[in-house]
């Protein structure tokens, strides 16, 4: 019948309500095979009425994310093109926006769901969703350990598929996009060691040491002795294995330990690469003081952290990132981070380097590796976990490209001791 609306037409209405737009730059495929939307646009397939039910209960990025992780929504085309279209209009086009549907919009959404037979109880979240609310106060030692385990203890095999042989889970440094991920990660490790002024016999503390890549590089290339600490049991197991295989057990000590419980030192240098995001804004002064106390006078600290570039980030527990990727994680702006690092004059800033575009290249490389090894990744960590990583890494790549997020290396020193070089040429 002319003018009759199919499932895909009504799903387009529903997604438009959620996004707050009447111009949806996507095609939707309904569970009945029907299609709606502009020809040539990326296609999102809605496999189940349950996906729409999730949106009724959580009309925003969390509901969409849950449906994707559960396999109730699929991306049929390039993941980057699809997310670029999804975040180009409406509420998702506003960086950091947590605007919700109005009561009138929610009523319209429920009406659409009723017509499609999707009304019912709220579906349980996929098992990959974190629930840390009962594990002590935010950023207590026990809760921080649980948050780290949620993200990092998902299987070393899975991370090898995504990260490649370097096993470095932070922004690489690219001479050009053509050099490849491994060369870019080696360049980053070497840059960190040079900025820290490592020489034969230097003693390095690597806070959040991951799978030991920086520790191994510093010991092999610069003759450093290293203490590496992590809260992840799986990371520590693999890091120790890699250290032993490299014949460096006499130079590298890998521990499962919270930085707040460390009483070693003094160290010549401290690296904190991709770890400060887990500390929390309220805990930053204590974090800075602890690392200061672990440094000898003249010793250097490199703080490498992701930043939110669009003003003070909203730390809602109801975002996809907070529920599925980095529970209790907090992003600060660069200005706020530098202010906290140098507060009171305990540490002197030597250098700040922005690596935003480098992280976009790194994330795209990780997504390519994940998609190329999809079957192995699913076999290792489960399809839901693989979907989480694909969604968050692709979305973050676009956020770095758009300038919504950045990543910065801040080099500092504890006053006293020998003076640093006159020019930054010594380490770049």
pLDDT, residue 2, reads 47
- Report, as an integer, the average pLDDT of 116-133: 91
Phi and psi at 168, nearest 5°, equal: -110, 120
Beta bridge partners of 74: 45
pLDDT, residue 140, reads 86
Rounded Cα gap, residues 414 and 218, in angstroms: 21
pLDDT, residue 100, reads 74
Rounded Cα gap, residues 146 and 337, in angstroms: 25
pLDDT, residue 410, reads 98
Q: Has residue 1 got a pLDDT over 50?
A: no
Interacting residues of 418 by C-beta distance below 8 A, sequence separation 6+ = 298
pLDDT, tens digit, 9 for 90 and up, residues 196-232: 999 999 999 999 999 999 999 999 999 999 999 999 9
Q: Has residue 170 got a pLDDT over 90?
A: yes
Rounded Cα gap, residues 351 and 300, in angstroms: 11
Q: Has residue 78 got a pLDDT over 50?
A: yes
Q: Has residue 69 got a pLDDT over 60?
A: yes
Q: Has residue 296 got a pLDDT over 90?
A: yes
- Report, as an integer, the average pLDDT of 349-355: 97
In this prediction, residue 135 has a pLDDT band, given cuts at 50, 70 and 90, of confident
pLDDT, tens digit, 9 for 90 and up, residues 300-337: 999 999 999 987 655 667 788 889 998 888 999 999 99
In this prediction, residue 392 has a pLDDT band, given cuts at 50, 70 and 90, of very high
Interacting residues of 237 by C-beta distance below 8 A, sequence separation 6+ = 156
- Report, as an integer, the average pLDDT of 408-414: 98
- Report, as an integer, the average pLDDT of 10-20: 93
pLDDT, residue 179, reads 97
Find out whether 337 and 303 touch, Cβ atoms under 8 Å: yes
In this prediction, residue 130 has a pLDDT band, given cuts at 50, 70 and 90, of confident
- Report, as an integer, the average pLDDT of 77-102: 79
Whether the bond into 54 is cis, omega within 30 of 0: no
Interacting residues of 285 by C-beta distance below 8 A, sequence separation 6+ = 340, 343
Rounded Cα gap, residues 357 and 351, in angstroms: 18
Q: Which residue has the tokens 């926006």?
A: 97
**What is the pairing mode between strands 225-230 and 203-207?**
parallel
Q: Which residue has the tokens 């014949």?
A: 247
Where do the domains of the chain lie, and which CATH numbers do they carry? 7-115 (no CATH), 141-426 (3.40.50.150)
Average pLDDT, the chain: 92
Q: Which residue has the tokens 């976009």?
A: 360
- Give me the helices (H) in 305-422, please: 320, 334-341, 356-372, 374-381, 383-402
Q: Has residue 132 got a pLDDT over 90?
A: no
pLDDT, tens digit, 9 for 90 and up, residues 94-114: 655 445 788 899 999 999 999
Burial of 250 (0-12, 13-18, 19+ CB in 10 A): exposed
The alpha carbon torsion through 175, 178, 181, 186 (nearest 10 deg) reads -30
């Amino acid at each position: 019948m002319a003018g009759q609306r199919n499932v895909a037409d009504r799903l387009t209405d529903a997604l438009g309500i959620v996004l707050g737009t009447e111009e949806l730059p996507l095609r939707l495929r309904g569970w009945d095979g029907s299609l709606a939307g502009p020809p040539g646009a990326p296609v999102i397939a809605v496999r189940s009425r349950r996906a729409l039910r999730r949106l009724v209960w959580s009309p925003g990025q969390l509901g969409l994310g849950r449906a994707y992780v559960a396999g109730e929504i699929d991306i049929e085309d390039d993941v980057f093109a699809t997310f670029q279209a999804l975040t180009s209009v409406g509420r998702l086009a506003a960086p950091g926006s947590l605007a919700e549907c109005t009561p009138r919009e929610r009523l319209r959404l429920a009406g659409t769901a009723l017509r499609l037979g999707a009304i019912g109880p709220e579906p349980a979240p996929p098992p990959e969703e974190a629930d840390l609310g009962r594990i002590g106060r935010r950023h207590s030692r026990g809760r921080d350990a649980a948050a780290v385990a949620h993200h990092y203890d998902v299987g070393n095999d899975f991370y090898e598929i995504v990260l490649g042989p370097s096993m470095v889970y932070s922004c690489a440094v690219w001479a050009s996009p053509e050099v490849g991920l491994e060369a870019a990660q080696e360049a980053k490790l070497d840059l960190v060691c040079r900025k820290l002024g490592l020489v034969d016999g230097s003693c390095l503390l690597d806070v959040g040491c991951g799978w030991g890549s920086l520790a191994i590089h510093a010991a092999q290339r610069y003759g450093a002795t290293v203490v590496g600490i992590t809260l992840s049991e799986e990371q520590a197991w693999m890091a120790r294995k890699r250290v032993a295989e490299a014949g460096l057990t006499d130079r590298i000590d890998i521990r499962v330990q919270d930085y707040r419980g460390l009483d070693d030192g003094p160290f010549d240098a401290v690296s904190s690469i991709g770890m400060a995001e887990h500390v929390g804004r309220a805990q930053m002064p204590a974090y800075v003081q602890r690392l200061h106390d672990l440094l000898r006078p003249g010793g250097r600290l490199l703080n490498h952290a992701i930043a939110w570039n669009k003003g003070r980030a909203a730390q809602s527990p109801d975002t996809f990132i907070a529920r599925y990727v980095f529970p209790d994680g907090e992003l600060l702006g660069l200005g706020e981070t530098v202010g906290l690092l140098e507060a009171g004059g305990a540490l002197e800033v030597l250098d700040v380097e922005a690596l935003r575009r480098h992280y976009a290249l790194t994330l795209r490389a990780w997504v390519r590796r994940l998609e190329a090894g999809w079957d192995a990744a699913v076999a290792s960590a489960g399809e839901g976990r693989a979907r989480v990583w694909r969604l968050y890494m692709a979305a973050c790549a676009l956020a770095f490209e758009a300038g919504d997020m950045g990543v910065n290396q801040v080099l500092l020193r504890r006053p006293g001791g020998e003076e640093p070089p006159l020019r930054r040429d010594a380490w770049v």
